[in-house]
């Protein structure tokens, strides 16, 4: 009798398990968004939760980083490259039931580029001259000068389309056009999205998605092991990854990010104003030792400020091979045979704190003494970034395609090179894809051969995912967890 009951219980469990596939997902994230407006803060967590799920732009990033149409069904570029005419999809509704039309696009772009705009990436819109609504589904954007990266810029999370009706409450009640609607935010705990039944495109498979915020690495381990969360995006404790890999319940996704991790040098502060010294520092560092020691082997060495998975990438790691003897010789040539002393300011992420210790040891081997200070982000921004009070610092630049920062002489590492500035200005207005790629390659080579910074590695993205969950992006072409294509395999 008991056996029979147990047997039927097991059978029922099996049957219901097979019949009702799971339609909700819980994703662990280390950082919580400060608020829910992707157009007025730099916090990556805002885009991770909302980009492509709740908010959409005219264009969007696909999982491989290519730019595809979003709310724009079609677009057309004028002969002179200055006028972009976007045709919007018809029947697109915001989550509050109002229709999306051209005037919303005008509002969103004008808001982002306004005088008092607080858009963290305002530069994306700097080249826009006028934005007009031609008819309800046609928007004409006129640029001050041709700009090859305009469509790319329009795919950013900072360029999503918002509505004037809902803008006042956007920070706590985001109203977008995406396949998921914002449902609930338990501050400090979780954000819940639900499927948008009126979505204009292909409906999402998941009915509900919860993002759970777990900052402590040991808690992340517990939550994953107890299966409280179905996936942990950018898992914070790389030391546990081998254990997850060995467990059949989980899959470990190792992908690329747009994060060039660099040892930045203050190009205006002696002795780093001397190229020989910068070159010496670059040769003193073993990238592989940093990747193995600080990142548990995850990360791809880079030799310039450019992502290896981009088609325009050139491998320039050979310019700065690990060669301590050469580094010493270069220091001697620069008039510093006994080395020198400098500061190394480290922001909180583990790539900086762990990497910093290894780099300090490697620099000591060639005679460069570093005084390490561990800073919080706010302190780092104040001292190193704004105050330019540092000799060396380690930071990962996570924005996609950000080599343009080398053309800003007031940027924190203070690199001032007219040739590169001209090149990047030309690049901005160049529309031809092949020429653009060549220009990017030239730019990579210039900064690599000028040893502006020591280029360490491309930050890897490692996520732990339930083995039955499909469609989570392994790579991060932008800070996004696009759930529109995610489903359970049973």
Residue reference for tokens 């969950």: 469
The SS3 assignment for 74 reads strand
Q: Closer CB to other proteins, residue 71 or residue 175?
A: 175
- Measured CA to CA, the distance from residue 352 to residue 396 in angstroms comes to 8
Longest CA–CA separation in the chain, Å: 91
Q: Closer CB to other proteins, residue 10 or residue 118?
A: 118
Residue reference for tokens 């990266």: 149
Stretch that binds other proteins, among 16-24, 35-43, 50-58, 240-248 (CB under 8 A): 35-43
> Contacts with other proteins in 195-214 (CB under 8 A)?
212-214
Among residues 41, 102, 105, 291, the one that binds other proteins under rule CB under 8 A: 41
Q: Closer CB to other proteins, residue 235 or residue 385?
A: 385
For residue 158 the two structure tokens come to: 């900072």
Contact between residue 306 and residue 464 where contact means Cβ atoms under 8 Å apart: no
Among residues 412, 427, 457, 473, the one that binds other proteins under rule CB under 8 A: 412
Among residues 32, 56, 104, 450, the one that binds other proteins under rule CB under 8 A: 32
Among residues 24, 43, 73, 99, the one that binds other proteins under rule CB under 8 A: 43
Contact between residue 284 and residue 365 where contact means Cβ atoms under 8 Å apart: yes
Binding to other proteins by CB under 8 A, coded x per residue (else -) over 151-190, reads --------------------xx-------------xxxxx
CB of 58 to other proteins, least distance (A): 20
CB of 120 to other proteins, least distance (A): 4
Q: How many residues bind other proteins (CB under 8 A)?
A: 51
Nearest Cα to Cα of residue 305 among 193, 420, 391, 473? 420
Among residues 343, 379, 417, 438, the one that binds other proteins under rule CB under 8 A: 379
- Measured CA to CA, the distance from residue 448 to residue 320 in angstroms comes to 8
38 pairs with which residues across the strands? none
59 pairs with which residues across the strands? 69
| H or E segment to which residue 333 belongs | helix 324-333
Q: Does 225 interact with other proteins (rule: CB under 8 A)?
A: yes
Residue reference for tokens 């920062």: 405
Q: Does 64 interact with other proteins (rule: CB under 8 A)?
A: no
Q: How many residues in total does the chain contain?
A: 490
CB of 102 to other proteins, least distance (A): 26
Q: Does 314 interact with other proteins (rule: CB under 8 A)?
A: no
CB of 440 to other proteins, least distance (A): 18
Helix axes 418-429, 433-449, angle to 10 degrees: 160
Strands 208-213 and 67-69: unpaired
Among residues 66, 218, 288, 489, the one that binds other proteins under rule CB under 8 A: 218
Q: Does 42 interact with other proteins (rule: CB under 8 A)?
A: yes
Stretch that binds other proteins, among 1-9, 91-99, 120-128, 132-140 (CB under 8 A): 120-128
For residue 225 the two structure tokens come to: 């092991």
Q: Closer CB to other proteins, residue 242 or residue 361?
A: 242
Backbone angles phi, psi at 290, to 5 degrees: -70, -45
Among residues 63, 69, 121, 417, the one that binds other proteins under rule CB under 8 A: 121
Task: Tell me if the bond preceding 42 is cis, omega within 30° of 0.
Answer: no
- Measured CA to CA, the distance from residue 463 to residue 475 in angstroms comes to 10
Among residues 47, 56, 258, 399, the one that binds other proteins under rule CB under 8 A: 399
The SS3 assignment for 46 reads helix
Cα→Cα distances 95→137, 163, 165, 185, Å: 18, 10, 11, 16
Stretch that binds other proteins, among 134-142, 220-228, 241-249, 452-460 (CB under 8 A): 220-228
Cα→Cα distances 390→91, 394, 461, Å: 53, 11, 28
Among residues 67, 133, 203, 219, the one that binds other proteins under rule CB under 8 A: 219
Per DSSP, the residues of 113-140 read HSTT---TTGGGGTTEEEEEEEETTEEE
Q: Closer CB to other proteins, residue 126 or residue 134?
A: 126
Q: Does 401 interact with other proteins (rule: CB under 8 A)?
A: no
Q: Footprint of other proteins on this chain (CB under 8 A)?
A: 32, 34-35, 40-43, 115-123, 171-172, 186-190, 212-216, 218-219, 222-223, 225-226, 228, 348, 376-379, 381-383, 385-386, 395, 397, 399, 402, 405, 412
């Amino acid at each position: 009798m008991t056996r029979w009951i147990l047997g039927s219980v097991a059978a029922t469990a099996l049957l219901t398990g097979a019949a009702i596939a799971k339609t909700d997902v819980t994703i662990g994230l280390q950082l919580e968004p400060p608020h829910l407006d992707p157009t007025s803060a730099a916090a990556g967590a805002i885009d991770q939760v909302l980009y492509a799920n709740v908010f959409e732009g005219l264009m969007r990033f696909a999982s491989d980083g290519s730019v595809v149409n979003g709310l724009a069904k079609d677009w057309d570029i004028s002969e002179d490259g200055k006028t972009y005419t976007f045709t919007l999809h018809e029947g697109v509704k915001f989550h509050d039931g109002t229709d999306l039309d051209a005037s919303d696009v005008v509002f969103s772009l004008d808001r982002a580029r306004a005088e008092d705009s607080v858009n963290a990436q305002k530069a994306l819109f700097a080249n826009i001259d006028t934005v007009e609504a031609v008819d309800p589904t046609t928007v004409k954007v006129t640029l001050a000068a041709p700009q090859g990266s305009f469509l790319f810029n329009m795919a950013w999370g900072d360029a999503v389309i918002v509505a004037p009706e809902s803008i006042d409450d956007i920070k706590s009640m985001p109203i977008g056009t995406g396949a998921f609607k914002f449902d609930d935010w338990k501050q400090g705990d979780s954000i819940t999205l639900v499927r948008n039944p009126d979505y204009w495109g292909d409906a999402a498979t998941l009915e509900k998605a919860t993002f759970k915020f777990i900052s402590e690495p040991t808690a992340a381990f517990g939550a994953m092991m107890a299966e409280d969360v179905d996936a942990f995006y950018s898992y914070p404790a790389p030391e546990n990854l081998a254990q997850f890999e060995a467990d059949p319940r989980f899959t470990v996704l190792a992908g690329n990010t747009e994060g060039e991790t660099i040892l930045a040098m203050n190009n205006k502060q002696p002795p780093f104003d001397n190229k020989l010294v910068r070159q010496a520092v670059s040769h003193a560092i073993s990238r592989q030792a940093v990747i193995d020691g600080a990142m548990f082997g995850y990360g791809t060495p880079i030799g310039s400020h450019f992502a290896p998975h981009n088609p325009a990438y050139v491998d320039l790691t050979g310019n700065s091979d690990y060669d301590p003897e050469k580094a010493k010789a270069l220091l001697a040539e620069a008039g510093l045979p006994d080395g020198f002393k400098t500061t190394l300011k480290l922001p909180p992420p583990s790539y900086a704190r762990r990497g910093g210790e290894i780099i300090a040891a490697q620099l000591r081997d060639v005679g460069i003494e570093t005084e390490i200070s561990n800073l919080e982000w706010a302190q780092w921004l104040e001292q190193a970034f704004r105050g330019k009070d540092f000799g060396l610092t380690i930071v990962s630049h996570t924005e996609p395609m950000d080599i343009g920062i080398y053309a800003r002489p007031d940027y924190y590492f203070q690199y001032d090179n007219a040739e590169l500035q001209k090149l990047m200005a030309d690049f901005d207005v160049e529309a031809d894809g092949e020429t653009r790629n060549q220009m990017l390659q030239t730019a990579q080579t210039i900064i690599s051969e000028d040893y502006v910074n020591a280029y360490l590695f491309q930050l890897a993205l490692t996520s732990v995912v339930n083995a039955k969950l499909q469609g989570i992006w392994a790579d991060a072409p932008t800070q996004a967890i696009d759930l529109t294509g995610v489903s359970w395999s049973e």
